[in-house]
Amino acid sequence: MKIILASSSPRRKDLLGLITKNFEIIVSNAEEKLEPGLTSREEAENISYQKAKIVFDETEGDRIVIGADTMVVKENKIYGKPKTKEKAKQMLEELIDGDRTHTVITGLTVLIQKGKDYKEYKTSDQVKMYFTKITDQEIENWISTGKAYDKAGAYAANEEFAKHIEKIEGNFMTAIGLPIHKLYEIIKEYI
């Protein structure tokens, strides 16, 4: 059975590689538009579904298509990927404001076609992140690496920024983009 990851994320590629080495990548190019009235968790699941469905519809045969979307959320505000240095700095300042905690939600969709049998799984997982106190200079140093721009919330828990994370409640893999514990349970009978 063909396994397809509908993502260009190098982090998701590495995480899926912990389950199986036998997969290909087809980027979905889905528009990541938020829909009014949905919770953050529903948004993450919805966008992950859109990513997977586009690739599923473009492919044929027995296959598993995996879509994922990660969101950083604090006080019901969703933090996407910053486009500018100023936006990255603002995001990080807001995330360290107050109790220095926020939530990371990763939506996961798995679409499976085996013969005439079609199955759809749409789920999500979330973790609570605790940052240490971070100085303005430390924020500047992180942003200057150039690694803040392709990550929700302007940081990566698996990069140099990790030294600013006091603790994580939940699955670390979810925090970096793919809840592989949930994914494995869905696809293990096919691999």
**Both structure tokens of 129:** 């992140």
Please check the confidence at residue 125 and state whether its pLDDT lies above 90: yes
Q: Mean pLDDT of all residues in the chain? A: 95
- Report the 10 Å Cβ neighbour count for 89: 18
Q: Tell me which of 57, 69, 97, 117 is the catalytic residue.
A: 69
Q: What are phi and psi of 38, to 5 degrees?
A: -95, 150
Q: For 75-101, how does the pLDDT look when each residue is reduced to its tens digit (9 = 90+)?
A: 999 999 999 999 999 999 999 999 999
Whether residue 30 is predicted with pLDDT greater than 90 in this model: the reply is: no
pTM for the full predicted model? 0.93
With tokens 């889905």, the residue in question is 30
pLDDT digits (tens, 9 = 90+) for 150-188: 899 999 999 999 999 999 999 999 999 999 999 999 999
Assign 33 a pLDDT band (cuts: 50, 70, 90).
confident
Contact 106, 69 (CB under 8 A): yes
pLDDT tens-place string over residues 134-145: 999 999 999 999
Q: What pLDDT does residue 95 have? A: 97
Q: What is the pLDDT of residue 35?
A: 84
* pLDDT at 31 > cutoff 90: no
Q: How do residues 39-76 score in pLDDT, each as one tens digit? A: 999 999 999 999 999 999 999 999 999 999 999 999 99
Residue 29 has pLDDT above 90, yes or no: no
Q: What is the pLDDT of residue 34?
A: 81
CA nearest to 182, candidates 139, 125, 103, 102: 125
Q: Is the pLDDT of residue 18 over 90?
A: yes
Instruction: Tell me if residue 69 is catalytic.
Output: yes
